[in-house]
Structure formats: C-alpha cells, structure tokens
C-alpha cells in the first residue's frame, strides 16, 4: 500500500527534476549564446569601413613594417623565438589580410584587388628589408632558428 501512495509523489518528483534540468540546460544555453554571440553590438557598416581603411600601405604602416621585419630578422639571427613572435605582433600585415578575407566574404572585387596589391607591396617590402639585413656579412651565419624555418611541415602550415 505504501508503494501506491508514493507513486504519485514519485512521478511528481521525476517531473520536477526533469523540468529543473530543462531549466538548467536552457539557462546554460542562454548564457553561452549571450557570451559567444559576435553579432551583438556589431555594426556591419563600420566594421567594413575600418577593415577597408586598414588595407593601404601608407607612411607609418610602411615604416612599422620595415622595423618589424628588421626586429624579426634580428630575432632569427640570434635564435630568439620570442623576438620573432614580438615582431609579428607589431607587423601591420594584418590590414591587407583582413581586407582579402572581407573582399572574398562580401564578393567585392575592388577591395580584393586593393588588398592583393597592398599585400604584394608589403611582402615585397618585407623581403627587401630582410634581404638587406642578411646581406650584411656579420649576419649571414645560419642559426638554429633560421634552419628550423627551412624545412616546414604540415604543422607549420596549420599554424600559419
């Protein structure tokens, strides 16, 4: 007789627990959605304008690029990964790269052309700077950091 009296209570308890779990998971889902939603407080037009404004290689960007490549070359020459990473953080190469991604994403051929031209100019400026640095006889010794960069594997491609 005790089991028949407990059955309605047991069913009610199961329903309460089930509803409690649903509420808990819904609360977690809502929290994570609000936390990770990148669309909130994003102005599409302003974002596109800012990315397009960062594409061109102009005065100070060119000089920052030259000095960041110079710093990276010194880091390679003294086998300092930290210095190379620091130079990458300073480098303004991200502007044309973001412009390239944006132009492909929104199918904007003019921005794609500008991004490719500016990226090419920046890569050319980078190669010229590093060539001039390593042309100095004092800096022509192959260090372990330089040798490590001559044999890339799949992991290096994934990191890039």
Task: Note the pLDDT tens digit of each residue in 21-37.
Answer: 788 888 899 899 888 88
Contact 109, 103 (CB under 8 A): yes
Domains of the chain: total: 2
Instruction: Return the closest-CA partner of residue 130 out of 85, 55, 81, 77.
Output: 77
pTM beyond cutoff 0.75: no
102 and 76 share one domain: yes
pLDDT above 50: residue 89:
yes
14 and 67 share one domain: no
Mean pLDDT over residues 126-142, rounded? 89
81 and 133 share one domain: yes
Mean pLDDT over residues 34-56, rounded? 86
31 and 63 share one domain: no
Domain that holds residue 9: 1-39
Residue 159 placed within a domain: no
Mean pLDDT over residues 127-153, rounded? 85
User: For residue 1, what pLDDT band results from cuts at 50, 70 and 90?
Assistant: very low
143 and 82 share one domain: yes
| pLDDT recorded at residue 154 | 87
User: For residue 79, what pLDDT band results from cuts at 50, 70 and 90?
Assistant: confident
96 and 142 share one domain: yes
100 and 21 share one domain: no
Residue 92 placed within a domain: yes
33 and 69 share one domain: no
Q: What share of the chain is helix, strand, coil (3-state, %, to 5)?
A: 80, 0, 20
35 and 57 share one domain: no
9 and 57 share one domain: no
């Amino acid at each position: 007789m005790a089991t028949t009296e407990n059955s309605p209570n047991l069913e009610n308890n199961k329903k309460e627990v089930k509803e409690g779990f649903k509420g808990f998971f819904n609360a977690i889902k809502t929290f994570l959605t609000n936390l990770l939603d990148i669309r909130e407080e994003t102005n599409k037009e302003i974002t596109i304008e800012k990315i397009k404004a960062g594409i061109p290689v102009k005065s100070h960007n060119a000089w920052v690029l030259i000095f960041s490549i110079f710093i990276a070359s010194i880091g390679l020459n003294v086998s300092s990964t930290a210095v190379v990473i620091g130079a990458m953080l300073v480098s303004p190469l991200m502007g044309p790269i973001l412009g390239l991604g944006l132009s492909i994403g929104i199918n904007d051929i003019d921005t794609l052309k500008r991004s490719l031209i500016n990226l090419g100019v920046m890569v050319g400026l980078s190669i010229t700077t590093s060539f001039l640095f390593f042309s100095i006889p004092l800096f022509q010794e192959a260090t372990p950091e330089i040798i490590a960069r001559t044999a890339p594997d799949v992991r290096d491609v994934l990191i890039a």
